[in-house]
Chains A and B, each alone.
Chain A
């Protein structure tokens, strides 16, 4: 069953087509990787899905309902949560409060404040941050701030999670930990779309990959198909990565 569907999705910045007539379909429960050169329109597409930016034309449907033109908070309450490429935590608030905010904001109307604390604590535990509950977000390392954003997004009870470069700035061992976390999130039945330049993570976590270039979809397929696509190697992966090193 399709959880998210885009038809002819388009966004201009001035005269530049940042996202141009892109069709996509995401199946319930899958993990879709979104890759492409810097400036290809990947984050813009996330901004259109989550309505951080208005779509110029085209439609986006979530579980069959047209969500184009809805406010971001409505889309979040319907079950779409996201993280940000440049982390946007509430810097002076403790880690726990950041997650409590997500719990209040999301899909649980009438959540009591006690329930919110319990829920936020569980989620911090799930992402491995329970020891840093009381630490102001700004004092966490970048890797942990990314985990905290993920926790805040999870606290909204999403069915679809948009992850924007959660592995950037992490070393390979930290990447492996983040991959394990994403796999556990999938285990909860949450559908994932992830933007990532860390190919190892994309290859291991996603069963399908979509490639954007200059705002257009240039390829779509299994990791195997994508890494052997001449076009993708040419504009994105480079010969070195292609050789598998």
Chain B
């Protein structure tokens, strides 16, 4: 479904990603693990078109997407739920969600998609008229996820959904992510909560200094000594 091949991405003169390749298949959860500064968010931004790779390619459902505008990539069925939620604070919950449906493919279905999102996050229906800035952190994360789903994606990139959330809410968010996969949506999940992430992911990549240094089945990575030491603090 997603094929990243040998990309190199720069910030000005500084190279952030080095000859990086990875793939994501239909309806699987793939985790990306790495320290702060390893290049995780740079990679996501390169995939979703916020940054351009200097070389290499990004393919999505057989079509080359590096070089396309972000909105065109969303239209193809790839949505990006950014770190820090990035909501429109002075818009209502419903308006925030509708913003996710601003593309030709899905706009006419927005009411039924909205109903589905409300089914997934019943609290958002109760809060639909409330300004996004007045929600709790967990509710804001749900709006960010709901907005990402409003474009009816085939692949969802989710950047640090559990950051700053109460343990009980984190459990809920992880359950919802598994539910999305079960509905056939592929998930590329970036998380600092490495233990819980590897428990729900099918496969994972480890990123260090802009390079993939390890990849494999999550269950196996959980047992790897280097992972336990460097990312699980064990």
A38 in contact with B169 (CB, 8 Å): yes
Query: A38, B138: Cβ atoms under 8 Å?
Result: yes
> CA–CA, A215 to B199, complex, Å?
34
CB distance from A243 to the nearest CB of B (A): 11
Which of B137, B160, B195, B233 is in CB contact (< 8 Å) with A176? B233
Q: What is the minimal beta-carbon distance from B160 to any residue of chain A, in angstroms?
A: 7
Q: How many residues of A contact B (CB 8 A)?
A: 29
Inter-chain contacts of B169 with A (CB < 8 A): 37-38
Pick the contact of A172: B160, B165, B232 (CB < 8 A).
B232
In the complex, A174 has a CB within 8 A of chain B: yes
Tell yes or no: A173 within 8 A of B by CB: yes
Nearest to B84 among chain A residues (CB) is A86
Give complex CA distance A235, B166 in Å.
9
Q: Does A111 contact B (CB under 8 A)?
A: no
Question: B183 in the interface, Cβ–Cβ < 8 Å?
Answer: no
Q: Chain A, 54-78, contact with B by CB distance < 8 Å: what is the 0/1 string?
A: 0000000000000000000000000
Chain B contributes a number of interface residues (CB within 8 A of A) equal to: 29
On chain B, the residues within 8 Å of A36 by CB distance are 166
Chain A residues lying within 8 Å of B139, measured Cβ to Cβ, are 38-39
* Interface Cβ pair total, 8 Å cutoff: 86
Instruction: Please determine whether A236 and B136 come into contact, CB atoms closer than 8 angstroms.
Output: no
Q: A38-B137, A197-B164, A240-B171 are in contact. Are A174 and B230 (CB under 8 A)?
A: no
- Give the chain B neighbours of A174 by CB distance below 8 A: 35-36, 192
Q: Determine which of B34, B165, B192, B230 lies in contact with A38 in the assembled complex, contact meaning CB atoms within 8 Å.
A: B165
- A172 pairs with B164, CB closer than 8 A: no
Chain A 224-243: CB-based contact to B (< 8 A → 1; otherwise 0): 00000000000111101100
A8 and B136 alpha carbons, distance in the complex (Å): 24
CA of A200 to CA of B192, assembled, Å: 14
Mostly helix, strand, loop or mixed at chain B's interface? loop
What 1/0 flags go to B180-205 for Cβ under 8 Å of A? 00000000000010110000000000
- A85:B195 contact, CB within 8 angstroms: no
Are A241's CB and B167's CB within 8 A?
A: yes
Within 8 A of A (CB), among B103-132: none
Does A141 interact with chain B (Cβ within 8 Å)?
A: yes
A55 to chain B, nearest CB (A): 21
Answer whether residue B231 sits at the interface, using C-beta atoms and an 8 A cutoff: yes
Is A170 in contact with chain B by the CB < 8 A criterion? yes
> How distant is A128 from chain B, measured CB to nearest CB, in Å?
14
Residues of B within 8 A of A144 (CB): 36-37
Beta-carbon contact of A171 and B168 below 8 Å: no
* Chain A residue at minimum C-beta to C-beta distance from B34: A171
Are A168 and B168 interface neighbours, CB within 8 A?
no
Which residues of chain B are within 8 angstroms of A39 by Cβ–Cβ distance?
135-139
Say yes or no: is B163 at the interface (Cβ < 8 Å to chain A). Answer: yes
Interface centre among B36, B37, B165, B195 (most CB of A within 10 A): B36
Chain A residues in 8 Å Cβ range of B165 = 38, 197
Q: Which residues 39-60 of B have a CB within 8 angstroms of A?
A: none
Does the CB pair B167–A238 fall under 8 Å? yes
Interface flag for A175 (CB, 8 Å): yes
Residue A159, interface by CB 8 Å: no
Within residues 124 to 183 of chain B, which ones have a CB less than 8 A from any CB in chain A? 135-139, 160, 163-171
Question: Are B167 and A199 neighbours in the complex by a CB distance under 8 Å?
Answer: yes
Counting CB contacts under 8 A, is A185 at the interface? no
List chain B residues, Cβ under 8 A from A142: 36
Would you call B36 and A141 a contact (CB within 8 A)?
A: yes
Q: Which residues of A contact B232 (CB under 8 A)?
A: 172-173
The answer to whether A38 touches B166 (Cβ under 8 A) is yes
Please give the distance in Å from A151's CB to the nearest CB on chain B: 17
In the complex, the answer to whether A237 meets B36 with C-beta atoms within 8 Å is no
Evaluate contact between A170 and B192: CB separation under 8 angstroms: yes
A contacts, CB < 8 Å to B: 35-39, 85, 141-144, 165, 168-176, 197, 199-200, 235-238, 240-241
Q: Which residues of B contact A (CB under 8 A)?
A: 33-37, 135-139, 160, 163-171, 192, 194-195, 229-234
- For the complex of A and B, the 3 pairs showing the least CB-CB separation, nearest first, are A39-B136, A172-B233, A238-B168
